[in-house]
Chains A and B, each alone.
Chain A
Amino acid sequence: MVSDPLAELVARCQEGDVAAFRELVQKTQDEVYNLAYRVLGNSQEAEDIVQEVYLRVWRALPGFRGEARFSSWLYRITLNACLNRRRELRTQLHVLDAEEALEQLAAPAHENPVELAIEHERKASLWRAVSRLPRKYRLVLTMFYQQQLSYKEIAEHLALPLGTVKAHLNRARRALAGLLRRKREKKSEDKDVAV
Chain B
Amino acid sequence: MWRCEQFKEELPQYVADGEPASPYYRALRAHLASCPSCQEELQRLRWVEEALRCWPKVPAPSALLERVMQAIVEQPHSVRMQERWQPLTWEVWVPALAVLAGLMIAVFSLPPHLLNAPVAVPGEEASQLWARDLASWESWLEGHREIVGTVWNGVFAALAVFGIGFALASWDALGREWWKEVERYFADLGNQVRLFFRRIH
Instruction: Using A61-B84, A170-B12, A174-B12 as known contacts, say yes or no to A22 and B59 having CB atoms under 8 A apart.
Output: no
Instruction: Using A55-B71, A145-B53, A173-B49 as known contacts, say yes or no to A180 and B58 having CB atoms under 8 A apart.
Output: no
- Contact status A104-B58, CB under 8 Å: yes
- Which residues from 35 to 61 on chain A have a C-beta closer than 8 Å to any C-beta of chain B? 37-38, 43, 47, 50-51, 54-55, 58-59, 61
Describe A's contact surface by its main secondary structure: helix
- Contact status A29-B56, CB under 8 Å: no
- Which residues from 50 to 78 on chain A have a C-beta closer than 8 Å to any C-beta of chain B? 50-51, 54-55, 58-59, 61-63, 65
- Contact status B84-A59, CB under 8 Å: yes
Interface residues of B (CB under 8 A from A): 8-9, 11-13, 15-16, 40-41, 44-45, 47-49, 51-61, 64-65, 67-69, 71-73, 80, 83-86, 184, 188, 191, 194-195
A139 beta carbon closer than 8 Å to chain B: no
- Contact status A15-B56, CB under 8 Å: no
In this complex, the member of B12, B60, B73, B184 whose beta carbon has the largest number of chain A beta carbons within 10 angstroms is B60
Q: Which residues of B contact A145 (CB under 8 A)?
A: 52-53, 55
A117 beta carbon closer than 8 Å to chain B: no
Closest to A119 in B: B51
- Contact status B56-A104, CB under 8 Å: yes
Shortest beta-carbon distance from B40 to chain A in Å:
8
Q: How far is the CA of A38 from the CA of B58 in the complex (A)?
A: 9
A181 beta carbon closer than 8 Å to chain B: yes
Instruction: Using A15-B194, A102-B56, A180-B48 as known contacts, say yes or no to A25 and B68 having CB atoms under 8 A apart.
Output: yes
A16 beta carbon closer than 8 Å to chain B: yes
Instruction: Using A47-B67, A55-B71, A177-B44 as known contacts, say yes or no to A126 and B51 having CB atoms under 8 A apart.
Output: yes
Q: How far is the CA of A154 from the CA of B89 in the complex (A)?
A: 32
Shortest beta-carbon distance from B153 to chain A in Å:
41
- Contact status A50-B68, CB under 8 Å: yes
Interface residues of A (CB under 8 A from B): 14-16, 18, 21-22, 25-26, 29-34, 37-38, 43, 47, 50-51, 54-55, 58-59, 61-63, 65, 100-102, 104-105, 122-123, 126-127, 130, 141, 145-146, 166, 169-170, 173-174, 176-177, 180-181
- Contact status B60-A29, CB under 8 Å: yes
Shortest beta-carbon distance from B52 to chain A in Å:
5
Shortest beta-carbon distance from A74 to chain B in Å:
13
- Contact status B44-A33, CB under 8 Å: no
- Contact status A177-B41, CB under 8 Å: yes
- 5 nearest interchain CB pairs? A33-B60, A173-B12, A170-B12, A177-B44, A29-B60
- Contact status B49-A62, CB under 8 Å: no
Shortest beta-carbon distance from A94 to chain B in Å:
14
- Contact status A101-B56, CB under 8 Å: yes
- Contact status A177-B45, CB under 8 Å: yes
Q: How far is the CA of A15 from the CA of B84 in the complex (A)?
A: 10
Q: Which residues of B contact A174 (CB under 8 A)?
A: 8, 11-12, 45
- Contact status A55-B72, CB under 8 Å: yes
- Contact status A43-B49, CB under 8 Å: no
Q: How far is the CA of A55 from the CA of B80 in the complex (A)?
A: 10
Q: How far is the CA of A62 from the CA of B59 in the complex (A)?
A: 28
Residue from A54, A55, A59, A181 in contact with B44 in the complex, judged by beta carbons closer than 8 Å: A181
Q: Which residues of A contact B194 (CB under 8 A)?
A: 15
Q: How far is the CA of A174 from the CA of B10 in the complex (A)?
A: 10
Q: Which residues of B contact A61 (CB under 8 A)?
A: 84
Closest to A16 in B: B195
Q: How far is the CA of A16 from the CA of B78 in the complex (A)?
A: 13
- Contact status A180-B44, CB under 8 Å: yes
Could you list some 29 contacts between A and B, CB below 8 A? Answer: A15-B194, A16-B84, A22-B65, A25-B68, A25-B69, A29-B65, A33-B64, A34-B58, A34-B59, A37-B58, A47-B61, A51-B68, A54-B68, A54-B71, A58-B80, A61-B84, A63-B184, A100-B58, A104-B59, A123-B51, A141-B55, A145-B53, A145-B55, A146-B55, A170-B12, A173-B49, A174-B11, A176-B48, A177-B48
